[in-house]
Structure formats: structure tokens, C-alpha cells
């Protein structure tokens, strides 16, 4: 009952329609938990199922709605759900009605063992080293330490967003200063806008991999890759290398346009890693209105690995 079809036909068909920035977490209770940006950008939904395919028809529950004014009142984006030290946390980006692009990372906490029960409390804003456009925060534990990775506009304001990493004192406090991981530098990172965003972490084959999304959110949107040795100092920028070419781009033959903002999960038996991402089924979209086009759908595909232990996300797409 837990066999998942990863045939080409399955991989080009959406798992869930009109859900961008998808995040799937498989918990120790056996459930898959799913959250994502909804087209209205006004709430955070959560759904769960015993299987990945079951998420398609799982009933979503609204666990939080935007404020009517002030912080967290506009552009509710890219929620992620994590279970850390016995509590549930949701990290998400939000602006405000009178300043829609005042985007910052905010955190919800729930101490119930069941995230559909208990109370989701607002823990406030995640404070970075400086105050600027900040979104797409993800967290991970490595060798006993909790880390956060996120996208943020630099002090110099020379790009739309760069990627940064920092350790955390706890799930809602960064241990500063932060470390710069990646700057948009290649052409594929600068189409339409100079963007590095949507980081996701996968630790395999004695390496720490961070995928990220680049360029504008039209058909030029794509996935890049950073990697470091698992024993390296992750806060030292020298530890990280960037693939010179994207590892997942638009594939017209599959009807997948602008793939990006991914997360990772595993098959039910834990034997295979799964890429979770969004894409549109068409190329034509007004760049100025791309974020308000609702048809970024959630898709999944099994991850293959090359002989050097690197993830292969797209056929014939080079890693190095």
C-alpha cells in the first residue's frame, strides 16, 4: 500500500494543484505533513497523510490566518513545519498591508504532540544581523547543532536576495553573526531578478547539500546547488562550493516550467529521497504578476545519485 509510482508520467503530473513553495516533513508518527503557500497568501494550512500520494486528497486545516493590519498582515509565504526538541515550529515569511514588501521571517510554536491540536502561538520575528527583506528560512540539525539558512537582501542592496547561514541558540533565536553562503553571480541566477532563495538541506554521502532557487519566478526559475563536506565548519564560507550550472531547469518536454522552491522528504520505507518542488504547466506569464499567478503546482520525484554521491534532480543536468 505504500508503493509510490515514480514513472515519468507520475513525475510530470502535479501531486497538489495551486500550492507553491511546498514543504513535506515525514514525522516519527508515520505521517507526512504538508504545508505550502496558498494562492491568496492569507493563511497557513496544514494537511497530513500516511502516504505521499494521500496528501493530494487530505483535508487541509487552517492553523493560522494573517493579521488585519501591521506585521504579518500581507504576503503570507512559504511556511515550513519542523519538530524540534519536542515542539512543533512553523517558519514563514510575511509582509504588512501598508508595506507589502516589508517581508520578514516569523515563527509559530505548538507544544502539542499533535500539530492539529493545541495552540499555535506567535513566537515573533526571527532577528537577523540587520533588518532587511528576509524570507524562506529553513532549519536543520547537524552534529548536535541547530542551524538556520535563509534568503535576505544584503546591507549593500545590490541583489534581491542572497543566502545566509547561522547557528541557533534555540528554534527562534539566531546565534549571530551570520555567514554569507551564496550571491547571485551566474547568468542563470540573474534572469529577471538577481535572486538566491528557497534553500533546502539534504545531508547524504558525507556531504551537506543545500539546494536553492534562482532568478525570477517565471520559466527562468531554476534550482542551484551548494555543498560542503559533512565534517567542515559550516559557518566558514570557504567550506562551501557552488555548482556552476543549475541542477534543475524548465523542461518543456515534461511540461514543467520554472521548477523551484523545493524541499526534501523520503519514501515511506526510508530507502529513497524525494524531491518536492513547484512548477507551472506553461511558460507564458507576466513577470510583474508572476507571484500572483496561482498555477504553481506541487510535484514530487525520486532523487537519483551519481557515482560521486551527488543528487541527480534532472536527466542530463550536470552537477559540477
Active site residues: 21, 197
Give the angle 249-106-162 at the CA atoms, nearest 5°. 40
Q: All 3 cell numbers of residue 268?
A: 515511506
- Please give the distance of CA 261 from its chain centroid, rounded to a whole number: 5
The residues pairing with 27 across neighbouring beta strands, listed in sequence order, are none
Amino acid at each position: 500500500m505504500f508503493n509510490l509510482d515514480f514513472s515519468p508520467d507520475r513525475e510530470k503530473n502535479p501531486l497538489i494543484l495551486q500550492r507553491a513553495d511546498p514543504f513535506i516533513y515525514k514525522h516519527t508518527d508515520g505521517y507526512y505533513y504538508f504545508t505550502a503557500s496558498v494562492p491568496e497568501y492569507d493563511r497557513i494550512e496544514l494537511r497530513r497523510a500516511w502516504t505521499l500520494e494521500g496528501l493530494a486528497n487530505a483535508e487541509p486545516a487552517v492553523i493560522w490566518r494573517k493579521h488585519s493590519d501591521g506585521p504579518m498582515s500581507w504576503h503570507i509565504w512559504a511556511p515550513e513545519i519542523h519538530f524540534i526538541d519536542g515542539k512543533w515550529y512553523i517558519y514563514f515569511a510575511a509582509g504588512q498591508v501598508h508595506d507589502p514588501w516589508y517581508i520578514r521571517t516569523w515563527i509559530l510554536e505548538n507544544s502539542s504532540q499533535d500539530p492539529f491540536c493545541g495552540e499555535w502561538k506567535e513566537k515573533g520575528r526571527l532577528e537577523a544581523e540587520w533588518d532587511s527583506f528576509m524570507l524562506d528560512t529553513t532549519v536543520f540539525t547537524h552534529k548536535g547543532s541547530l542551524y538556520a539558512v535563509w534568503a535576505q537582501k544584503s546591507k549593500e542592496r545590490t541583489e534581491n536576495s542572497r543566502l545566509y547561514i547561522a547557528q541557533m541558540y534555540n528554534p527562534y533565536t539566531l546565534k549571530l553573526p551570520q555567514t554569507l553562503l551564496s550571491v547571485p553571480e551566474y547568468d542563470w541566477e540573474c534572469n529577471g531578478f538577481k535572486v538566491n532563495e528557497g534553500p533546502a538541506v539534504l545531508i547524504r554521502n558525507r556531504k551537506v547539500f543545500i539546494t536553492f532557487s534562482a532568478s525570477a519566478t517565471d520559466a527562468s526559475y531554476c534550482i542551484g546547488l551548494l555543498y560542503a563536506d559533512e565534517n567542515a565548519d559550516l559557518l566558514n564560507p570557504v567550506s562551501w562550493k557552488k555548482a556552476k550550472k543549475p541542477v534543475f531547469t524548465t523542461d518543456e518536454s515534461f511540461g514543467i516550467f520554472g521548477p523551484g522552491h523545493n524541499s526534501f522528504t523520503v519514501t515511506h520505507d526510508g530507502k529513497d529521497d524525494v524531491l518536492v518542488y513547484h512548477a507551472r504547466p506553461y511558460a507564458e506569464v507576466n513577470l510583474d504578476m508572476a507571484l500572483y499567478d496561482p498555477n504553481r503546482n506541487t510535484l514530487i520525484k525520486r532523487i537519483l545519485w551519481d557515482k560521486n554521491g551527488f543528487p541527480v534532480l534532472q536527466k542530463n543536468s550536470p552537477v559540477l
